[in-house]
Amino acid sequence: MSAGVLFDEPGPRTRARHLVYNVVAVLAVLAVLGFVVYRLNETGQLEYAKWEPFVTPDIVRAIGEGLLTTLKMAAVAIVAAVVLGMALGIGKLSEHRWLRWPCWLFVEFFRAVPLVLLIIFVFFGVLGSVEDFNSKAFWAVVIALTLYNGSVLAEVFRAGIQAVPRGQGEAAYAVGMRKHQVMRQVLLPQGVKLMIPSIISQCVVALKDTSLSYVVAGVGLTRVGKSIYTEFANHVPTLIVISVIYICVNLLLTALATWVQRRFVGEKKILAVGAVAGFDVTPGTAAPLTPGR
Amino acid sequence: MEAVLDNWQIVRDAFVVTVALVVISGIGALVWGTILAAFRVSPVQALRVFGTGYVSLARNTPLLMFFLFFQLGAGKLWDVLGFTWVSVHIGSYDFTSFFAGAVAALTLYTSSFVCEGLRSGVNAVDLGQVEAARAIGLPFSGVLRRVVLPQAFRTSVPPVVSALIAMVKNSSLAGIFGVLELANRMKGLTNNHADQRTEIFLVFALLYIVIVAAFSIGAATLERRWKVAR
């Protein structure tokens, strides 16, 4: 159902009324924006000195390097999480209880624990003896992101494999394939196709979560932002610039996910899993993915 | 383990603060998320554009930026947004500008996910329901308020609760910005008791899992109760 069917085709009077609403809404939004700009100007946030760092070559280069570190963190974490998620997802589908249960516990635990706690624990507890502060922070974030995203992706993998029509697996067994052959040659190739858009969406989540490195003094873009506003006391401009960078990268990733979905999966909705067992984020498509409900 | 047991009052207080933070921001996110969802399906184009723009910006900005804005930037722009006027003391609990800033950040961020959840619920409402509502002459507000939203709320329990559960976990960011909640206390204990870090982590993780479990049990109950009416 699209939004269009929620209301009738407007007649002349309604159209006039909607025009009034439109004008009022536009004016309201403009008033708020205008007020923001007014306050920005009034408090001197629009002064050239506050924005100058962002056209200074050295600082622009530092921001670029920070962005690169951030992207590197997200990329390493996602690649590791895909591997971990595949192992856990297949483990959760195993026929052996001794394999299924630990995988289940692992996934449920790390999906429910806040990343901030994980990062603090890995930073002080696990990597406590590492000397180099920067690489300690980098790896604390990467390990925490891997554990969390790996657990989420485990569910995506499980859902993706279960979304492959059952006849496929049954047919493979019928022609005499072994269990690992069925998984490797029949179920995974078809399932992975369904998973790729969700994996890309998970990249957006991971990229946003790299900013949590702030908790342990920061790595990448967050650190650069922090140094800039500490030095130039231009908090608002810095936050705006850093946010815009994050938004642009994330929108690109989202567009990529949508394109891949259209190109390889078709009309079906993107697989989505919630933070806790039993929740699928897209209603309506939930039923075939979770046999328990 | 002694570190936690010796400081159990601190841990208890931190738990209460986290719960308060989650409940207040949760209500805020539900209200603002519903308004945004209504904007996004309304016949007024300007509101639709605003809703879409807000959601896609808020969803793609790291939550940290919201927190940084409310703790560092907002007060400089307009002193009202510094929340210095917030100073509520209930028993031994202080709810100050740090707490209010955290509530604002969590509400504005989470509401975009709540809005998306609700919108998917609106999309799942049967077409005939809407057509029937229009046929008996209900205006848009009536269609939305009396027919579509009540059903959308029911179908969108899982995605909305998912967003709220994510918010429970995100609330831990408040600990870095001066709110004395679980993550803040965990960092303190971790620094002071180097030999018990694993136990401390597990205890605090468990406390968060308790809150998350409460949410998912509540959602399961709601889903079961509302299934009949669907």
DSSP secondary structure letters along A113-170: S-HHHHHHIIIIIISTT---HHHHHHHHHHHHHHHHHHHHHHHHHHHHHHHS-HHHHH
User: A167 CB contacts (<8 Å, ≥6 apart)?
Assistant: none
ipTM given for this complex: 0.85
Give yes or no for residue A272 having a pLDDT over 80.
Answer: no
What pLDDT sits at residue A80? 95
**Whether pLDDT at A88 is above 90:** yes
Q: Which residues contact A69 (CB under 8 A, 6 or more apart)?
A: A138, A219, A220, A221
Residue B86 pLDDT greater than 80, yes or no:
no
Chain A residue at shortest CA distance from B220: A278
Q: What is the mean pLDDT of chain A?
A: 84
Task: Write the CA distances from B13 to B3, B93, B95, integer angstroms.
Answer: 15, 8, 12
Q: What angle do CA B58, B62, B68 make, to 5 degrees?
A: 100
Q: Can you read off the two tokens belonging to residue B52? A: 């879409």
Closest-CA residue of chain A to B41: A3
What is the reported pLDDT for B28? 96
Residue B138 has pLDDT above 50, yes or no: yes
pLDDT in tens, B169-214: 999 999 888 888 888 888 888 888 888 888 889 999 999 999 999 9
Q: What is the mean pLDDT of residues B2-20?
A: 87
Closest-CA residue of B relative to A1 is: B123
* Closest C-alpha to A152, from A97, A93, A109: A109
CA distances from A232 to A45, A51, A70, B70, B179 (A): 12, 9, 22, 19, 26
Residue-wise DSSP of A205-251: HHHHHGGGGGGGT--THHHHHHHHHHHH--HHHHHHHHHHHHHHHHH
Residue A218 has pLDDT above 80, yes or no: no
- Picking from B140, B173, B183, the nearest residue to A6 by CB comes out as B140
A275 pLDDT higher than 70: no
Inter-chain touch B212–A212, beta carbons under 8 Å: no
Buried/exposed code over B165-187 (b: 16+ C-beta within 10 A; e: otherwise):
bbbbbbbbbbbbbebbbbbbbbb
Query: Higher pLDDT residue, A83 or A219?
Result: A83
Q: A182: closest CA among A195, A194, A170?
A: A170
Distance CA A79, CA A145 (A): 11
CB nearest to A283's CB, from B73, B121, B212: B121
Model pLDDT for residues B32-81, shown as the tens digit of each residue: 999 999 898 888 888 999 999 999 999 999 999 999 998 888 877 787 77
Comparing A145 with B93, which gets the higher pLDDT? A145
Min Cα–Cα distance to chain A from B43, Å = 7
Mutate to test the interface with A, among B77, B112, B210, B227 (most CBs of A within 10 A): B77
Q: What is the average per-residue pLDDT within B122-149? A: 86
Which residue did the predictor score with more confidence, A227 or B3? A227
The pLDDT score that the predictor gives to residue A290 is 28
Cα B109 to Cα B126: distance, rounded to the nearest angstrom:
30
Considering CB atoms only, which of B50, B148, B209 is closest to A6?
Answer: B148
Q: Mean pLDDT for chain B?
A: 87
Cβ proximity of B207 and B182 under 8 Å: yes
**Rounded mean pLDDT, B138-160:** 86
Interface of A with B in 10-39 (CB under 8 A): 10, 18, 21-23, 25-26, 29, 36, 39
Q: How confident is the model at residue A283 (pLDDT cuts 50, 70, 90)?
A: very low
pLDDT above 50 for A189: yes
pLDDT higher than threshold 90 for residue A222: no
Q: Where are the beta strands (DSSP E) in B40-182?
A: 88-90, 93-95
Confidence at residue A267, expressed as pLDDT on a 0 to 100 scale = 61
- Beta partners for residue A280, in sequence order: A273
| Closest chain B residue to A45, measured at CA | B77
**Cβ–Cβ gap A276/B173 under 8 Å:** no
Residue B205, pLDDT score: 92
Q: Which positions in chain A touch B131 (Cβ < 8 Å)?
A: 5
Mutation pick from A33, A73, A111, A239 vs chain B, by most beta carbons of B within 10 Å, is: A239
- pLDDT for residue A277 is more than 70: no
A235–B76 C-beta distance less than 8 A: yes
Mean pLDDT of A180-195: 88
The whole-number pLDDT of residue A205 equals 87
Is the model's pLDDT at A214 over the cut of 80? yes
Give the mean pLDDT of A221-233.
87
pLDDT for res A269: 61
Contact between chains at B65 and A274 (C-beta distance less than 8 A): no
Residue A271's pLDDT band (boundaries 50, 70, 90)?
A: low
Q: What does the pLDDT read at residue A26?
A: 92
Residue of A nearest to B211 (CA): A112
User: Does A45 contact chain B (CB < 8 Å)?
Assistant: yes
